[in-house]
Structure 1
Amino acid sequence: METRRLRMLVELSRLGSMRAVADMLGATTSTVSQQIAALADEMGTALTEPHGRLVRLTPAGRRLAEHGVTILSAVETARHDLAPGSEPNGTLRVAGFATAIRAHLLPVVSALTTSHPRLRVLVREHEPAEALRLLSEDATDLALTYDYNLAPAAGDPVVSSTALWTAGWGLGVPVQAGAREGTALEVFARFAGHDWIVNSRNTADETVIRTLASMAGFTPRITHQADSLDLVQGMITAGLGVGLLPLGTPTCAAVHILPLTDPEVRLRSYAVARHGRLDWPPLALVTDLLVRRSATGQHPAPPTGTDPGEPPQAP
């Protein structure tokens, strides 16, 4: 069985269309179709069936795709297990959101220049969806991502997530609106008539806002987008609306952050890698160092001008 064909089937089960698989793998749709048909011949059973203008996996196709995740993981493990226990070396590609890179990854990279000089880390700044896409395309080895407890990220059987830190969030409002606190639903209800500001590169905080607003009995009027905490504060100061901000964020004099409780809003950060590569020495080392750094509570308050994924302080 050719693992290339098996990977196409696994990606078809995840992406849902031949064209999407072809785009991800840099192949043509006809090539993907031919390879999956050849795999079906090898297995002696149909793996796909027509579904409108597309195709979908048959029960046998879904079952083989499930086996495929395990098989491809085993292949990756074997590939990176040629020298078990060897000194981490080579190039590790990391894609992640700005805070995770600046406050956590960069200190780790600086330490590695002395402790593991043969290991090189390449860094790319991306929001979670962008970083996970790069991971699925094998264009990065480690993705640093986040979600919220009220907007959990969808699971993906092809990857494995390691929890890092968490951080509480509140609602940034104009100081003149008053500092009266309450439950999250009470706070949201007080600002039902305001415009709302959301992230321009990630939909997670908009999901949180819409979820809490729905629970509070209204539909939020979302009008502005920004992925800079400094810009969000500037919009609030200018009277353009209210928006989520990390608790503990240094604020300007015109902005106040109201805590959100019952339910609370917590950002959760992760180190994400593909199955089968978790034992690769460079990836295992950097992931372990990030976990240790998170466990020590080294989460400085975010400066202004950074992305909304900023953790304000140790949870």
Structure 2
Amino acid sequence: MFDLRRLRLLHELSMRGTLSAVADALSFSPSTISQQLAQLEREAGVPLLEPEGRRVRLTAQGEALAAHAARMLTADEAARAELELLQPSLAPVRLAVMQSAAHGLVPRALDVLAETEPRLRVEIAELAPEEGLFEVAARGFDLAVAEQYPGHTREQRALLERRTLGRDAIRLAVAHGDPATSLADLRDRAWVMEPEGTAARQWATQQCRAAGFEPDVRFALADLTAHVRLVASGHAVGMIPALVFGGDEPATRSIDLPERPRREIFTAVRRGTADRPGIRAVRAALEDAFARVPEISAGRGPTG
């Protein structure tokens, strides 16, 4: 019989690509990972790994067994979820959230959980949406809060089940007193955007190009609170989702973009864990929290 713990290591290697990345994710030494995979190879009776320069890669047999490992791990999680339903233990829930959700949703969701599930331990880390979704698929986290911009769909991972929380508006942000009234008015301004390669950066750049100009991005920052401060101080303009403000009075003035676009906010879990009581409770709390954000639930906020 295959050892499920060793199968997980093989699955992790297929996801993360290197032994060192697996070791970092699981807090093991690379030598321990290598020893356990060597034992799995002996159990399988076929070569699972082969050298590739200074690294290793999965053989065809390794890829086949890794695919089976993913299904076995999902079945194991589904069995544990069913047992937890029969005798709830509220195992800790590890939550990966993007920054705007950390500001706008997490405090309210924790308020809800303090009332509904006061014994539930929730461990939260801030991760970019791309990383958070990967880590849930790789079993580094149980649940992720991520976003999807209009026209920019995210990769559909077979292991993950998504559920929409809602949508929030993305608007131009300028300093109070700024005379701009439209996107075209900002063609010669300094911009703050998220780093290259992110969905937010790609989407914002496309909006500017559709308006007939290439944005002068002088500030590439992942921290959205820094975006707000740069805009509020008049050093830049940007596009900021409403959730960043979490229902508080914006420090910037908002201007509607053409067609008033809204991004989708969603949660993602592994299919085998979706029925775990703790995960269901956290999802419900996040949905409640989203509905409680005044600007989101009202659908509009201060605009120019």
Structure 1 portions without partners, runs of 5+: 181-186, 302-310
- Report the equivalent of 2:124: 124
The code of the aligned residue for 2:81 comes to H
Q: Is residue 205–residue 244 contact of structure 1 (8 Å, CA) maintained in 2?
A: no
- Report the equivalent of 1:282: 278
The code of the aligned residue for 1:178 comes to A
Secondary structure in structure 1 of the residue aligned to 2:275? coil
Q: Is residue 165–residue 314 contact of structure 1 (8 Å, CA) maintained in 2?
A: no
Give the Cα separation in 2 of the matches to 1:114 and 1:212.
42
Q: CA deviation at 1:138?
A: 5.6
**2:221 matched to 1:220?**
no
Structure 1 or 2: more helix by fraction: 2
- Report the equivalent of 2:241: 246
Q: Residues 231-242 of structure 1 correspond to what in structure 2 (within 5 A)? A: 231-242=226-237
Report sequence identity in percent.
Answer: 27
Give the Cα separation in 1 of the matches to 2:263 and 2:82.
35
The code of the aligned residue for 1:243 comes to G
Q: Is residue 278–residue 284 contact of structure 1 (8 Å, CA) maintained in 2?
A: yes
Give the Cα separation in 2 of the matches to 1:160 and 1:103.
23
Report the TM-score when normalising by structure 2: 0.76
Deviations 1:148-196 (A, max 9, x none): 235544444554332211112122235544314xxxxxx3x65343221
Q: Residues 16-165 of structure 1 correspond to what in structure 2 (within 5 A)? A: 16-87=17-88, 89-97=90-98, 100=101, 104-117=105-118, 119-124=119-124, 126-129=126-129, 131=132, 135=136, 140-165=141-166
Secondary structure in structure 1 of the residue aligned to 2:41? helix
Q: CA deviation at 1:243?
A: 0.4
Deviations 1:220-241 (A, max 9, x none): 3322237345x53442354422
Q: Are the structure 2 counterparts of residues 82 and 236 from structure 1 closer, same or farther at C-alpha, using a change threshold of 3 Å?
A: closer
Secondary structure in structure 2 of the residue aligned to 1:23? helix
The code of the aligned residue for 2:180 comes to G
Q: Are the structure 2 counterparts of residues 164 and 4 from structure 1 closer, same or farther at C-alpha, using a change threshold of 3 Å?
A: same
Give the Cα separation in 1 of the matches to 2:114 and 2:281.
13
Query: Which of 269, 294, 298 is residue 292 of structure 2 equivalent to?
Result: 298
Q: Is residue 174–residue 254 contact of structure 2 (8 Å, CA) maintained in 1?
A: yes
Give the Cα separation in 2 of the matches to 1:154 and 1:257.
31
Secondary structure in structure 1 of the residue aligned to 2:255? strand
Secondary structure in structure 1 of the residue aligned to 2:85? coil
Q: Is residue 92–residue 123 contact of structure 2 (8 Å, CA) maintained in 1?
A: no
User: Which segment drifts farther, 195-204 or 274-283?
Assistant: 195-204
- Report the equivalent of 1:191: 186
Give the Cα separation in 1 of the matches to 2:278 and 2:169.
31
Count of aligned positions: 292
Q: CA deviation at 1:72?
A: 0.5
Q: Are the structure 2 counterparts of residues 128 and 160 from structure 1 closer, same or farther at C-alpha, using a change threshold of 3 Å?
A: farther
Q: CA deviation at 1:55?
A: 2.8
The code of the aligned residue for 2:172 comes to L
Query: Which of 265, 270, 287 is residue 266 of structure 2 equivalent to?
Result: 270
Q: CA deviation at 1:279?
A: 1.9
Q: Are the structure 2 counterparts of residues 267 and 29 from structure 1 closer, same or farther at C-alpha, using a change threshold of 3 Å?
A: same
Q: CA RMSD in A?
A: 3.7
Q: Is residue 20–residue 30 contact of structure 2 (8 Å, CA) maintained in 1?
A: yes
Q: Are the structure 2 counterparts of residues 51 and 144 from structure 1 closer, same or farther at C-alpha, using a change threshold of 3 Å?
A: same
**2:167 matched to 1:171?**
no
Q: Is residue 168–residue 267 contact of structure 1 (8 Å, CA) maintained in 2?
A: yes
- Report the equivalent of 1:305: none
- Report the equivalent of 1:308: none
Deviations 1:99-158 (A, max 9, x none): 5456545445444445444x3233535243565576577665333333423554444455
Q: CA deviation at 1:23?
A: 1.7
Report the TM-score when normalising by structure 1: 0.73
Q: Is residue 170–residue 242 contact of structure 2 (8 Å, CA) maintained in 1?
A: yes
Give the Cα separation in 2 of the matches to 1:113 and 1:234.
32
User: Which segment drifts farther, 102-111 or 36-45?
Assistant: 102-111
